[in-house]
Amino acid sequence: MKAFEYVRPSSLEEACAALAGSGGGAKALAGGTDLVVQMKQGGLRPTMLVSLRDVPGLAFVGVGDDLTLTIGAAAPLATVEHSLEVRRHYPAVADAASWIGSAQVRSRATVGGNLCNAAPSADMAPILLAYDALATITDGRSERTLPLEEFFTGPGQTVLEPGELLKSISVPPCPTGFGKYYKTFRSAMDCCTVGVAVWVSFADDTAAVQDARVALGAVAPTPIRSRSCERVLIGETLDQALIERACVAATEDALPITDVRASADYRVTLVSVLSRRALDAARVWAQKGAGG
């Protein structure tokens, strides 16, 4: 690694000021499990690292009384994985966190880091997109909030301006529904080859889909919502035939590349397979009666 300046501010204002004042050469450092690797191997050469370690208020994880899920950007994945509240109310989010990397990685890697690194395969993105998550961005003085869907602008790129930090992710309370994330990987520890997350709610005690959100990871320049798939689902009865049509629609939104991990063709197949498994599970859940 090349030498760099290292600062460890103790407030959000200081942190953002340091990021802003570096002329674009500074990077925020949370867990470092992506950043340090890129600095060692990927040619990333920041002139300054702004450590978020001692900035208060960035690592909070909790579920409010109204069931809003709030995850501080610098909350380690392990905290999300083991949080009793998250496990209780948003188990799919805890699961997604638990399937990233290894225990060692999850001790340090953060939700914010995973999202800000903005790999097309970012493992926290699909399930949070399926939950219509919001991203709160701060520049140290004021905040702005936008749908997570708008946060990613390209592979490795986000809407963050110099001097801005992702502060937190929040999932607004939603009606009872079925949420789950599916990913495939080549061995028991791997970044995802393809990720599919769904959230489906049903009308009364039927299998009629009231609302559906489907998100795909690693099959487009950014994690995306599959609107085509959602349009097929909403307002219809979730049966095998609908699921088949929905899966086809999901593959239409997928624009994967071929790389050393998988071919584009295989990724498209996996989108269909994982979507089907996710929606099948939703259908079974609906049949059992909304269990909360």
Partner 1 sequence: MKKELHITVNGDECHLLVATHRTLLEVIRDEIGLTGTKNGCGAGECGACTVLLDGEPVNSCLVLAHEAEGRKVVTIEGLAKAGVLHPVQEAFVEEGAIQCGYCTPGMVLTTKALLDKNPTPSRQEILDGLKGNLCRCTGYIKILEAVETAKCLLEERGSEWADV
Partner 2 sequence: MGGCVIGKGLPRIDAVPKVTGEAQYTVDLKMPGMLIAKILRSPHPHAIIRSIDTTAARQLKGVHAVITSQDVPDNLFSFYHWLADKHILCVDKVRYVGDEVAAVAAVDEDTAEEALSLIRVDYEPLPAVFDVEEAMEPGAPLVHDGKESNATWSVDRLFGDPDKALAECDYVVEGKYVTHQVAHTCLEVSNCVAKWDKSDRLTIWTNTQAPHTQRQEVARILGIPRRQVRLISSYMGGGFGSKLVMDMKLPIAAVLSRMTGRPVRIVNTRSEEFTTAKTRYPYTMFLRTGATKDGQIMVRDLRVIGDAGAYHDKGPATINFSSMMFGTLYNVPHIRYHADMVYTNKEMGTAFRGFGNPQMAFATECQLDELAEQIGMDPLALRLANSNCAMETTSCGAEVCGCGMTDCMVEASKRMGWDEKRATKPDGVRRGVGVANMVHTGGGGRFYGFNSAEAFIKLSDEGTVTLITSALDMGQGAHTAMAQIAAEGLGVRLSDVNVMSHDTDLTPYDLGSWGSRASFMDGNAVLAAALDAKKALVEAAAEMLEVDADDVVIEESQIWVKGLDEKHDLSEIVDHSVNAHGLPISGAGKFVDKLPEGYTIPTAFAKNIPCFSFGTQMAEVEVDEETGQVTVLKVVAAHETGTTLNQTMAEGQIEGSVAQGIGYALMERLVHEDGRVVNDRFLDYKIPNIGDVPEIEALLVESEGTDGPFGAKGIGEPGLVPTAPAIANAIYDAIGVRFRELPITREMVLEALRENRS
Least distance to partner 2, CB of residue 266, Å: 5
87 binds partner 1 (CB under 8 A): no
Residue 266 touches which member of partner 2, partner 1, none, C-beta under 5-8 Å by kind: partner 2
Select the residue interacting with partner 2 from 118, 270, 278, 279 (CB under 8 A): 270
Using an 8 Å Cβ cutoff, are 156 and 117 in contact? yes
186 binds partner 1 (CB under 8 A): no
Least distance to partner 2, CB of residue 5, Å: 16
Least distance to partner 2, CB of residue 14, Å: 29
**Which amino acid, 167?**
K
191 binds partner 2 (CB under 8 A): yes
36 binds partner 1 (CB under 8 A): yes
Q: DSSP letter for 116, please.
A: H
Please provide the distance, in angstroms rounded to a whole number, between the alpha carbons at the two ends of the chain: 49
Least distance to partner 2, CB of residue 24, Å: 23
The alpha carbon of 20 is separated from its chain's Cα centroid by a whole number of angstroms, namely 26
Using an 8 Å Cβ cutoff, are 122 and 223 in contact? yes
Beta-carbon contacts of 46 under 8 Å, excluding residues fewer than 6 positions away, are: 4, 25, 26, 27, 39
10 binds partner 1 (CB under 8 A): no
98 binds partner 2 (CB under 8 A): no
Residue among 88, 234, 63, 222 nearest 156 (CA): 222
141 binds partner 1 (CB under 8 A): no
Please give the Cα distance from 88 to 38 (Å, whole number): 35
Place of tokens 């986000």: 158
Least distance to partner 1, CB of residue 40, Å: 6
Q: DSSP letter for 110, please.
A: B
Helices vs. strands in the chain: H and E counts, helices first: 11, 14
**Which amino acid, 110?**
T
227 binds partner 1 (CB under 8 A): no
266 binds partner 2 (CB under 8 A): yes
Least distance to partner 1, CB of residue 28, Å: 13
108 binds partner 2 (CB under 8 A): no
Residue 49 touches which member of partner 1, partner 2, none, C-beta under 5-8 Å by kind: partner 1
- Per DSSP, which regions of 30-88 are E strands? 48-51, 61-63, 69-72
269 binds partner 2 (CB under 8 A): yes
Please give the Cα distance from 289 to 291 (Å, whole number): 6
Select the residue interacting with partner 2 from 104, 145, 153, 263 (CB under 8 A): 263
Beta-carbon contacts of 273 under 8 Å, excluding residues fewer than 6 positions away, are: none
Please identify, using beta-carbon distances, which residue of 8 and 261 lies nearer to partner 1. 8
61 binds partner 1 (CB under 8 A): no
Give how far Cα 26 sits from Cα of 36, 88, 156, 206, 277, Å: 13, 38, 16, 53, 43
Select the residue interacting with partner 1 from 9, 72, 101, 140 (CB under 8 A): 101
Give contact residues for partner 1 (rule: CB under 8 A): 1-6, 8, 29, 32-33, 36-37, 39-41, 49, 51, 53, 78, 98, 101-105, 107-108, 188-189
Catalog residues that contact partner 2 under the rule CB under 8 A: 41, 184, 186-191, 260-263, 266, 269-270, 273
